[in-house]
Amino acid sequence: MTLWVDADACPGSIKELIIRAARRLEIMSVFVANKHIAVPESGYVFSRRIGQNPEAVDMYITENSVAGDVAVTQDIPLAAALVAKGVIVISTRGELLSEENIGERLSVRNFMQGLREAGGLTPGPAEFSQKDSRRFADTLDRVLSRLLKKQA
């Protein structure tokens, strides 16, 4: 199992939670970004800098992940592609994205994007909070614990 992180827009507190979990549970974690992402030296935490193409990170994670891996992203189209592959996806706000809810999330995202492209004003995302960070930590812990029990 590999933990993939869409790291370009991942909040720092979430990166730290992932690094701690990777070291504690000895899970390979790969932070993928268009820019340099500093990660501590570890046998379990890696950083991959991908080309400047805005879709390069999404393509890299999609091509290299396999069913049973875990991914962290706030990119809904990427999440949809990964869910279709059998990858477990967690948003940076701690929402578990699955076959049951990804279609709705993708529809809302596309609707809002259409409004913006037509000149409409849409509200931006809520400010990232401690509550979001706690919910992410709880979801990550629950998902990783379940997967590690299956492997044992």
The predicted model gives 51-61 an average pLDDT of 90
**Which two structure tokens, joined as six digits, stand for 60?**
């890299």
CA 117 to chain centre: 25
The predicted model gives 29-58 an average pLDDT of 92
- For 46: left if phi > 0, alpha if psi spans -120 to 50, otherwise beta; the answer is beta
**What is the architecture, at CATH level 2, of domain 2-151?**
3-Layer(aba) Sandwich (3.40)
pLDDT of residue 52 exceeding 90, the answer is no
- Specify the higher pLDDT residue, 54 or 19: 19
Say which DSSP state 95 is in: P
DSSP 96-132: EE-TTTHHHHHHHHHHHHHHHHTT-----PPPP-HHH
Burial class of residue 18 (count of CB atoms within 10 Å of its CB; 0-12, 13-18, 19+): buried
Confidence of residue 43 (pLDDT cuts 50, 70, 90): very high
pLDDT of residue 109 exceeding 70, the answer is no
Burial class of residue 1 (count of CB atoms within 10 Å of its CB; 0-12, 13-18, 19+): middle
The predicted model gives 38-59 an average pLDDT of 91
Confidence of residue 121 (pLDDT cuts 50, 70, 90): confident
- Residue 26 CA: distances (Å) to CA of 11, 36, 50, 67, 75: 22, 23, 24, 19, 26
Mean pLDDT, the chain, integer: 91
What's this model's pTM, rounded to 2 decimal places? 0.89
Report the pLDDT value the prediction gives residue 110, as an integer from 0 to 100.
65
